[in-house]
């Protein structure tokens, strides 16, 4: 069995009018001003990523537009495969709510660094614990499908936290202590001995 290297990138900053609400699996626009202002960071990321590589993105357009921004910044344009397993956590009936509306709906204590605790499952949605199980299965499947490859995957903050939690074998509340910023890079390596975390939340050009 050979090593597979996953280069996980969180999508670009979303439009200002979307940031105050829980958008989860909703399809929302990116912020055009941030895309322009952060072009040097995209160029640094384009230089940092491996060539050749297999490119994946979640079904949501913000990840696909982020990949396109990296290509425009200097990475040779690649075929982009849509991978449903990389989608953001689903907040169910809470999607579209303002952040301020969430505390009154909780059944468990909120987390210090997120609106809800790791085991809280919004009605019709996923908890972080659910997300870890889903992303764990996705990462194992992708590792088996791409042995020995470099895989660049443009995904989401919650999904990347869940993938790191799977690699480290940590619980959902611990995963919520991880900071995953927009257009940051996280690398997970699947090796014959198991998962290894090479970097988390690396900001390009910083």
DSSP 37-49: HTHHHHHHHHHHS
Percent residues over pLDDT 70 in the chain: 99
Domain 4-202, what fold? Rossmann fold (3.40.50)
**DSSP E strand stretches across 67-168:** 80-82, 150-155
Per the CB < 8 A criterion, the answer to whether 24 and 90 are in contact is: yes
Half-sphere exposure of 81 (CA within 13 A, CB side): 12
Q: Where are the domains of the chain?
A: 4-202
Long-range contacts of 40-44 (CB under 8 A, 24+ apart): 40/205, 41/183, 41/203, 41/204, 41/205, 41/206, 42/69, 42/70, 42/72, 42/73, 42/183, 42/204, 43/73, 43/74, 43/205, 44/204, 44/205
- Summarised one tens digit per residue, pLDDT across range 133-189 is 999 999 999 999 999 999 999 999 999 999 999 999 999 999 999 999 999 999 999
Q: Which residues pair with residue 6 across a beta bridge?
A: 151, 188
- Summarised one tens digit per residue, pLDDT across range 44-88 is 999 999 999 999 999 999 999 999 999 999 999 999 999 999 999
- Summarised one tens digit per residue, pLDDT across range 114-134 is 999 999 999 999 999 999 999
Does the structure show a pLDDT above 90 at 205? no
Mean pLDDT of 11-23: 96
The answer for residues whose C-beta is within 8 angstroms of residue 19's C-beta and 6 or more apart is: none
Does the structure show a pLDDT above 80 at 206? no
The answer for residues whose C-beta is within 8 angstroms of residue 113's C-beta and 6 or more apart is: 176, 177, 179
CA quadruple 171, 177, 180, 185: dihedral sign: negative
Taking the C-alpha atoms of residue 68 and residue 42, their distance in angstroms, rounded to an integer, is 10
Confidence of residue 1 (pLDDT cuts 50, 70, 90): low
Taking the C-alpha atoms of residue 166 and residue 174, their distance in angstroms, rounded to an integer, is 11
């Amino acid at each position: 069995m050979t090593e597979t290297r996953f280069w996980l990138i969180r999508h670009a900053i979303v439009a200002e009018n979307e940031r105050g609400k829980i958008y989860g699996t909703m399809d929302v626009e990116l912020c055009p001003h941030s895309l322009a202002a952060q072009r040097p960071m995209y160029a640094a990321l384009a230089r940092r990523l491996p060539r050749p590589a297999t490119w994946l993105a979640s079904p949501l357009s913000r990840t696909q537009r982020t990949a396109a921004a990296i290509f425009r910044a200097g990475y040779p344009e690649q075929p982009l495969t849509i991978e449903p397993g990389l989608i953001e956590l689903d907040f169910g009936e809470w999607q579209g709510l303002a952040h301020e509306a969430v505390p009154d709906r909780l059944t468990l204590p909120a987390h210090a660094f997120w609106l809800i605790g790791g085991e809280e499952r919004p009605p019709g949605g996923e908890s972080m614990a659910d997300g870890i199980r889903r992303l764990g299965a996705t990462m194992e499947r992708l590792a088996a499908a791409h042995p020995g490859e470099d895989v660049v995957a443009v995904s989401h903050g919650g999904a990347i936290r869940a993938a790191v939690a799977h690699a480290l074998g940590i619980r959902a509340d611990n995963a919520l202590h991880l900071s995953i910023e927009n257009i940051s890079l996280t690398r997970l390596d699947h090796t014959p001995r198991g998962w290894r975390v090479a970097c988390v939340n690396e900001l390009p050009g910083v």
